[in-house]
């Protein structure tokens, strides 16, 4: 189920045209299914993390 379009239906991330964000699963230890952890990617420098299945997002910043 990775590299699928994330629709951003609730507009929790910055608004962009449909198909802009892609979704990737992060393995959740102890989970028998995909679990709740995801990384969402827009532009190469625009990445977000959620560990609660889209209730809250944190921006991933690379480097410093």
Among candidate residues 10, 46, 53, 62, the one labeled active-site is 53
Please enumerate in sequence order all residues whose Cβ is within 8 A of that of 57, keeping only pairs 6 or more positions apart, or say none: 12, 13, 40, 48, 49, 50
Among candidate residues 10, 16, 23, 62, the one labeled active-site is 23
Is 23 in the active site?
A: yes
Is 16 in the active site?
A: no
The residues assigned a catalytic role are 23, 53
């Amino acid at each position: 189920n990775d590299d699928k379009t994330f629709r951003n239906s609730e507009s929790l991330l910055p608004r962009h045209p449909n198909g802009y964000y892609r979704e990737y699963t992060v393995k959740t230890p102890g989970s028998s299914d995909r679990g709740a952890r995801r990384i969402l990617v827009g532009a190469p420098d625009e990445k977000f993390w959620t560990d609660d299945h889209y209730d809250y997002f944190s921006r991933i910043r690379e480097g410093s």
